[in-house]
Amino acid sequence: MNGNEIRVLVGRGIPVLLAAAVLSLPMRAEADDAPAVDTSRWVCKFCPFDEGFSASAELGAGYVSDDSSKFGEYTGLNQQGGFGVGNAEARYRSKDGTWLDATLTDLGLDSRSLKLEGGKQGTYKLFLGYKELPHYITDSAVSPFLGVGTGSLTLPAGWVAAGSTGTMTALAASLHGIDLETKRRSVDFGAALTPIVHWEFAVKFRHEEKTGTLGSAGAFEFNSSQLAMPVDYDTNQIDASAAYSGSRLQARFAYYGSIFSNNEDTLTWANPYLPLVAGATSGQLALAPSNKFHQLVVSAGFELSKRVHATADVAVGRMTQDEAFLPYTLNANLTTTPLPRGSLDGRVNTLTGNLRITSALTDKLRLNGAYTYDDRDNRTPQSVYDWITTDTSAALPRTNLPYSSTHSVAKVDGGYALTRDLRVDAGYTYDEYKRDLQEIDRTQENIYWGKATARINDRTDLTLKGSHGERTVSDYTANPEILPPENPLMRKYNMADRDRDTAELRIDVTLTERIGIGLAGSFAWDNYRKSVIGLLDGRDSTVTVDASFALSDDTSATCYLNHEQIKSDQANAELLATSPTWFANNDDSIDTGGVGIKHHASDKLDLGANYTVSRSTGKISIVGRTPAFPDLSSRLDSVKLYATYRLKQKLSLHLAYWYENYRSEDWMLDGVTPTTIGNVLSFGQGSPSYHINVITLSGRYQF
């Protein structure tokens, strides 16, 4: 039996073997394990069951000291000024199991949410939720285009087109600030029913609207403009399931549907440059097409015996997309053939399966096997399409390439407890990836790993883990449909020969009952051993130290430090040279740390503080070429102080102060005004920096 045959056995044979194992195991009769206990005197007279209505409400006000999209990126604290603090909770419980929970969060912010849940416990549950989530990207962008937020961007009257941004004489007077930001508003509701023993039926529906503007860009040949793209998405998702839960068999049958609708199909924009050819005065981008996804999932878990358990899942899905095509071009001076079809009729069938058997063969020995299959079968029809490049000129027609792939993974692993305090585990994974219409047909990876877990003494735990993986590929052959061709020496890193080695270490020490310290480190090295052009290697190392202290019965503290280094080397060749003409290195370094302390000062007063610090540096160099890039950098210091004072049994006051200082330097953005790049009319946004103080005062009343 040669190596390939073995791999076939491992890759294709495992499902058969595991199935055989399932069938050959003894089937135990279902047994009611509930003990017979005389509970006639278990009246629970001392039990303070939760009954009746209770609620609390927090109201107050806060103030933000300055504007910053970055600071308020996801919260809504992006503008200077006051804001309201509004949070509330209410609950109802009754003896018969009827219940209701209501939660209102951040009423005064753009990230507000409301959740209502209720029902009769053990019988049914209903829920309704509403959530807003903003994303403020930048408030420092500028643009001369009018109609921001719509699908049609025009230039102001009197616009003077020019060959480069520096000679657009009307540009300076036409620039106006634009906010790139989106907001999600979602409503979800659903129900769960348990009408009969062992069964639960559930349905959940979610409707989300996402609106706003995002950054995009459009070009005419090499003359480009950054554009505000309108976002007006509706997404409806539904989850419906029926679940069975027996003592030895559990199963779940589920349907998932996702319907995405983009209410803005296109983005057209006026060409601010002198047209390179007659008629190239406006361009059009096809925005994300509306699409659908339907999926059926069956999951099951089965106790084959007290010591052997099996789980299996199968998911069958279909993605479709049939948005009407736009014309090849808006340039009426360019002639094209009719479109081969009016829409794509895009269809991707998905099939995912998973089978896993776990066993505790003895109290000391554990053996497991698993197989996962994931198939993306792209059934989208292929056609030949004319190609009008950037509304400017006709190029050779192209055929669309609907990519399909099949990914299968087989695993076996086992563990043995050598002593009560020392356990070793080891495993083997075979990973196979098949692709079509791409440079390689198949990659195969063999991964071996080992792990040791030891309790050195009553206070010290140690974990060591290491792995080695070797990925080999079939013949690397460029697809002739992909033009112009890549350098024949290029090896795309997701399908290149690769050795991957990893190592992890973790030590947890309980110094005293009140002090615990942890040390963790990990290292990963990817070596693309046969790549001459492309990614050559990547290294990632992380070290973390953390500690927790119970300084007294009333005071606790935690702290941590983390250092991470991400490095990679790559090569490329100008003019399709047969060996690399340049090499580049990336070296990202990130240090983060934090300290937190909580103090219960008295029955009336609780205090707390958190400090977070983060420093990052990104070094990029083109080896041997000058000038060198400046470092990318970011510096974050964040301090939060908070206090809670109980004025009365039902009334408490909360005071919080948040200081955050952020500085970043990014050569992609800094100093780049709309006229800096002759052939890119840019947003001119700088890298974000801010210095913000936030203070809030609120009162919470318990009803």
Partner 1 sequence: MKKKNCLAAGWLVVVCFAFPLAVRAAESGTGDQAPPAYTERGADTCLKCHDEDSKFPVLSIFKTKHAQPADKRTPFGKLQCESCHGPGAEHAKEVPEGQKQAPIIKFGVNSWVPVEKQNQICLGCHENETRIAWQGSPHGGNNVACVSCHTIHATHDAVLATGSQPDVCFTCHKRERADFDKPSVHPVRFGQMACNSCHEVHGAIAAKLLIKPTLNETCYTCHAEKRGPFLWEHAPVAENCTNCHTPHGSIHSALLVKRAPLLCQQCHSQLGHPSVARTAGGLPGGNPSGFLLAGSCVNCHSQIHGSNDPSGVKLMR
Q: Residues 557 to 586: which contact partner 1 by CB under 8 A?
A: 560, 562, 564, 568, 570, 572-576, 581-582, 584, 586
User: Which of 563/646 has CB closer to partner 1?
Assistant: 563
User: Which of 53/222 has CB closer to partner 1?
Assistant: 222
Q: Please tell me whether residue 63 binds partner 1 under the rule CB under 8 A.
A: no
Q: Could you tell me the end-to-end alpha-carbon distance of the chain, in angstroms, rounded to an integer?
A: 76
Residue selected from 474, 522, 693, 702 as contacting partner 1 according to rule CB under 8 A: 522
User: Which of 451/646 has CB closer to partner 1?
Assistant: 451
Q: Please tell me whether residue 289 binds partner 1 under the rule CB under 8 A.
A: yes
User: Which of 174/224 has CB closer to partner 1?
Assistant: 224
Residues 183-222 that bind partner 1 (CB under 8 A): 200, 215-219, 222
**Are the C-beta atoms of residues 544 and 506 closer than 8 Å to each other?**
no
Provide, rounded to whole angstroms, the least separation between the CB of residue 119 and partner 1. Answer: 11
User: Which of 109/155 has CB closer to partner 1?
Assistant: 109
What 8-state DSSP symbol labels residue 576?
G
Provide, rounded to whole angstroms, the least separation between the CB of residue 154 and partner 1. Answer: 19
Q: Please tell me whether residue 282 binds partner 1 under the rule CB under 8 A.
A: no
Q: Determine the Cα–Cα distance for residues 278 and 223; give it in Å rounded to an integer.
A: 15
220-253 burial string, b = 16+ CB within 10 Å, else e? Answer: beebbbbbbbbbbbebebbbebebeeeebebbbe
> In sequence order, what are the residues at sequence separation of 6 or more whose Cβ sits closer than 8 angstroms to the Cβ of residue 194?
122, 123, 124, 200, 201
Q: Please tell me whether residue 277 binds partner 1 under the rule CB under 8 A.
A: no
Provide, rounded to whole angstroms, the least separation between the CB of residue 175 and partner 1. Answer: 15
Q: Determine the Cα–Cα distance for residues 86 and 59; give it in Å rounded to an integer.
A: 5
Pick the stretch among 148-156, 366-374, 600-608, 642-650 that binds partner 1 (CB under 8 A).
366-374
Q: Please tell me whether residue 605 binds partner 1 under the rule CB under 8 A.
A: no
Provide, rounded to whole angstroms, the least separation between the CB of residue 614 and partner 1. Answer: 4
CA triple 235-143-153, angle to 5 deg: 55
Helices (H), 459-541: none
Q: Determine the Cα–Cα distance for residues 110 and 116; give it in Å rounded to an integer.
A: 19
Instruction: Tell me if residue 495 falls in helix, strand or coil.
Output: helix
Provide, rounded to whole angstroms, the least separation between the CB of residue 546 and partner 1. Answer: 6
Q: Please tell me whether residue 592 binds partner 1 under the rule CB under 8 A.
A: yes
User: Which of 434/599 has CB closer to partner 1?
Assistant: 434
Per-residue binder mask for partner 1 (CB under 8 A), 124-143, x = binder: ---------x-x--------
User: Which of 157/550 has CB closer to partner 1?
Assistant: 550
Q: Please tell me whether residue 148 binds partner 1 under the rule CB under 8 A.
A: no
> In sequence order, what are the residues at sequence separation of 6 or more whose Cβ sits closer than 8 angstroms to the Cβ of residue 553?
none
CA triple 160-165-171, angle to 5 deg: 50
Residues 431-460 that bind partner 1 (CB under 8 A): 435, 438, 446, 448
DSSP β-bridge partners for residue 87: 58
CA dihedral 149, 154, 158, 162 (to 10 degrees): 120
Per-residue binder mask for partner 1 (CB under 8 A), 41-60, x = binder: xxxxxxxxxx----------
Pick the stretch among 61-69, 144-152, 601-609, 673-681 that binds partner 1 (CB under 8 A).
673-681
User: Which of 305/333 has CB closer to partner 1?
Assistant: 305
Residues 150-189 that bind partner 1 (CB under 8 A): none
Per-residue binder mask for partner 1 (CB under 8 A), 608-627, x = binder: ----x-x-x-x-x-x--xxx
C-alpha atoms less than 13 angstroms from C-alpha of 539 in its C-beta half-sphere: 8
Provide, rounded to whole angstroms, the least separation between the CB of residue 314 and partner 1. Answer: 9
Burial zone of 109 (CB within 10 Å; 0-12 exposed, 13-18 middle, 19+ buried):
buried
User: Which of 146/298 has CB closer to partner 1?
Assistant: 298
Residues 297-356 that bind partner 1 (CB under 8 A): 297, 299-301, 304-309, 311, 313, 315, 317, 319-321, 323, 325-329, 339, 344, 346-348, 350, 352, 354, 356
Provide, rounded to whole angstroms, the least separation between the CB of residue 597 and partner 1. Answer: 15
Provide, rounded to whole angstroms, the least separation between the CB of residue 132 and partner 1. Answer: 10
Residues 467-496 that bind partner 1 (CB under 8 A): 484-487, 489-490, 492-494
Burial zone of 211 (CB within 10 Å; 0-12 exposed, 13-18 middle, 19+ buried):
middle
User: Which of 6/278 has CB closer to partner 1?
Assistant: 6
Q: Determine the Cα–Cα distance for residues 635 and 357; give it in Å rounded to an integer.
A: 48
Query: Could you tell me which of 390, 427, 154 has the C-alpha nearest to residue 285?
Result: 390
Q: Please tell me whether residue 405 binds partner 1 under the rule CB under 8 A.
A: yes
Residue selected from 129, 518, 608, 699 as contacting partner 1 according to rule CB under 8 A: 518
- Helix, strand, coil distribution of the chain in percent, nearest 5: 5, 60, 35
CA dihedral 271, 275, 281, 285 (to 10 degrees): -60
User: Which of 492/599 has CB closer to partner 1?
Assistant: 492
Pick the stretch among 270-278, 368-376, 647-655, 693-701 that binds partner 1 (CB under 8 A).
368-376
- The CA distances from residue 123 to 92, 119, 128, 196, 442, in Å, are 17, 8, 18, 9, 51
Provide, rounded to whole angstroms, the least separation between the CB of residue 157 and partner 1. Answer: 27
Q: Determine the Cα–Cα distance for residues 526 and 114; give it in Å rounded to an integer.
A: 46
**Are the C-beta atoms of residues 682 and 219 closer than 8 Å to each other?**
no
**Are the C-beta atoms of residues 142 and 154 closer than 8 Å to each other?**
no
Residues 235-264 that bind partner 1 (CB under 8 A): 235, 237, 241, 243, 245, 250-252, 256, 258, 260, 262
Q: Please tell me whether residue 520 binds partner 1 under the rule CB under 8 A.
A: yes
- Interface size with partner 1, residues (CB under 8 A): 208
User: Which of 67/303 has CB closer to partner 1?
Assistant: 303
Q: Please tell me whether residue 412 binds partner 1 under the rule CB under 8 A.
A: yes
Q: Please tell me whether residue 430 binds partner 1 under the rule CB under 8 A.
A: yes
User: Which of 189/560 has CB closer to partner 1?
Assistant: 560
Q: Determine the Cα–Cα distance for residues 130 and 104; give it in Å rounded to an integer.
A: 10
Residues 102-121 that bind partner 1 (CB under 8 A): 111, 121
User: Which of 60/283 has CB closer to partner 1?
Assistant: 283
Q: Please tell me whether residue 597 binds partner 1 under the rule CB under 8 A.
A: no
What 8-state DSSP symbol labels residue 108?
T
Provide DSSP, 627-691: SPPPPEEEEEEEEEEEEEEESSSSEEEEEEEEEEEEEEE-TTTTT--TTTSTTEE---PPPP-EE
C-alpha atoms less than 13 angstroms from C-alpha of 615 in its C-beta half-sphere: 6
The pair of structure tokens assigned to 251 is 């199963």
